[in-house]
């Protein structure tokens, strides 16, 4: 090595472990606000991911133990599980996780080669294929009143409970409510008076967003993620939503409301920061994050689904090779302008 570089000893396992730790505040808030159903979902997704990962590693002729213990499969499983309605049926969780690990990760070449964020591919597949199950979200406990026990939640997830039990606790999410209300020609102010809305975001949902934000800040404080992607993502959401809200506050939700939907915080800090499928150059990270944020608002406002974080991240994943090619940093000591060695 020609220069005394500072060597960072962090391994993939350490990074992934910290990501899991940083998700814990969000999971705790989820349990507190929506009941323990998410724990069953997380466990099932984890088991499915580990089994699928081991099977794919074996089929591809890789040593199973060193790659399985890098925890990347579990991170994918947790991120996907946190995007799913917490009382989703078991086959939904298994299908999504299998798709994420087998197709989006291993068929594209495994960790480090996947073009698309595996968790978001799993989510998009489920949302497109099973729109009814994917939009049956349990309401916050403060509104539904009856907290389900862990056993009750497991019974619903594994199909052992009558459908009426699930119907009693599910309700439209804040983003759903906003979308439906706007389609019925109500103004944003009228819609916001409904009990599902809280201080800035949805009742309960805003605290979940706050917990994801806290976990994300931990990741940033440890320098596991750079500030560029999350900040650009949040700025993209805030500016795009603010721009629309400024012109017609009656028809477009407030920027803070959009920012404090949990999907945005989870997306900005945990999903768009994926080092494999995201941009790698400093300027590229800003473009990637900002683009995903703006696309999120565009899809939320004019798209066919109430939320757009997953599709926004996947669309920006496609643009990453282009972004990276045109944002190569100047090599230290090299001439300004485009480097000869940088364009491929």
Partner 1 sequence: MTLNEFRTLFQNGLDKQNTGLVQLLGLCPLLAISNTVVNAVSLGLATMLVMMTASGAVSSVRHFVPHEIRIPVFVLIIAALVTVVDLVMNAFVHPLYLVLGIFIPLITTNCIVLARADAFASKNHPLASVVDAFAMGLGLTAVLMVLGAMRELAGQGTLLSGIDLVFGADAKAFVLHLLPGYQGFLLAVLPPGAFIALGLLIAAHNWRRARAEKRAHAAIPVAA
- Residues lying near partner 1 in the complex (CB under 8 A) are found at 95, 103, 107, 125, 128-131
The CB-of-125 to partner 1 minimum distance in angstroms stands at 6
Query: In the complex with partner 1, which residue's Cβ is closer, 46 or 95?
Result: 95
| DSSP helix, strand, coil percent of the chain (3-state; round to 5) | 65, 0, 35
The CB-of-128 to partner 1 minimum distance in angstroms stands at 6
Round to whole Å and give the CA distance between 9 and 238. Answer: 36
Query: In the complex with partner 1, which residue's Cβ is closer, 128 or 150?
Result: 128
Give the list of residues 6+ apart from residue 145 with CB closer than 8 angstroms, or none.
Answer: none
Residue 202, helix vs strand vs coil: strand
Cα angle 197-32-42, degrees, rounded to a multiple of 5: 105
Round to whole Å and give the CA distance between 23 and 122. Answer: 19
**Which element (helix H / strand E) includes 315?**
helix 309-326
Query: In the complex with partner 1, which residue's Cβ is closer, 103 or 182?
Result: 103
Residue 138, helix vs strand vs coil: strand
- Residue 83 has φ and ψ, to the nearest 5°, of -85, -15
The CB-of-88 to partner 1 minimum distance in angstroms stands at 13
Query: In the complex with partner 1, which residue's Cβ is closer, 85 or 215?
Result: 85
The CB-of-195 to partner 1 minimum distance in angstroms stands at 32
Query: In the complex with partner 1, which residue's Cβ is closer, 131 or 160?
Result: 131
Query: In the complex with partner 1, which residue's Cβ is closer, 134 or 271?
Result: 134
Q: Identify whether the C-beta of residue 19 lies closer than 8 Å to the C-beta of residue 224.
A: yes
Nearest to 208 by CA among 113, 299, 147, 200: 200
Burial of 8 (0-12, 13-18, 19+ CB in 10 A): exposed
Query: In the complex with partner 1, which residue's Cβ is closer, 129 or 187?
Result: 129
The CB-of-99 to partner 1 minimum distance in angstroms stands at 9
The CB-of-129 to partner 1 minimum distance in angstroms stands at 4
The CB-of-179 to partner 1 minimum distance in angstroms stands at 20
Q: Identify whether the C-beta of residue 138 lies closer than 8 Å to the C-beta of residue 87.
A: yes
């Amino acid at each position: 090595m020609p220069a005394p570089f500072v060597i960072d000893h962090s391994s993939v396992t350490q990074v992934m472990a910290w990501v899991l730790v940083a998700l814990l505040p969000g999971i705790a808030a989820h349990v507190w606000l929506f009941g323990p159903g998410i724990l069953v979902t997380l466990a099932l997704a984890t088991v499915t991911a580990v089994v699928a990962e081991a099977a794919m590693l074996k089929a591809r002729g890789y040593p199973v133990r060193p790659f399985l213990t890098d925890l990347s499969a579990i991170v994918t499983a947790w991120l996907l599980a946190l995007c799913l309605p917490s009382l989703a049926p078991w086959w939904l969780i298994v299908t999504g996780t299998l798709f994420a690990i087998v197709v989006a990760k291993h068929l594209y070449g495994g960790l480090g080669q996947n073009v698309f964020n595996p968790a978001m591919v799993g989510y998009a597949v489920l949302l497109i294929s099973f729109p009814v199950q994917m939009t049956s979200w349990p309401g916050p406990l403060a509104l539904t009143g009856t907290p389900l026990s862990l056993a009750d939640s497991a019974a619903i997830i594994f199909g052992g409970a009558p459908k009426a039990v699930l119907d009693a606790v599910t309700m439209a999410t804040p983003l759903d409510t906003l979308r439906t209300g706007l389609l019925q020609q109500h103004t944003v102010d009228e819609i916001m008076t409904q009990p599902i809305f809280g201080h800035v975001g949805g009742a309960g949902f805003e605290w979940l967003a706050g917990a994801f934000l806290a976990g994300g800040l931990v990741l940033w404080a440890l320098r596991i993620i750079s500030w560029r992607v999350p900040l650009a993502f949040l700025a993209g959401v805030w500016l795009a939503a603010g721009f629309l809200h400024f012109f017609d506050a009656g028809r477009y939700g407030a920027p803070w409301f959009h920012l404090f939907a949990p999907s945005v915080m989870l997306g900005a800090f945990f999903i768009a920061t994926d080092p494999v499928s995201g941009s790698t150059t400093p300027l590229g990270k800003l473009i990637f994050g900002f683009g995903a944020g703006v696309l999120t608002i565009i899809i939320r406002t004019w798209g066919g689904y109430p939320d757009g974080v997953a599709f926004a991240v996947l669309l920006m994943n496609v643009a990453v090779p282009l972004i990276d090619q045109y944002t190569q940093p100047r090599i230290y000591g090299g001439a300004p302008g485009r480097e000869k060695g940088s364009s491929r």
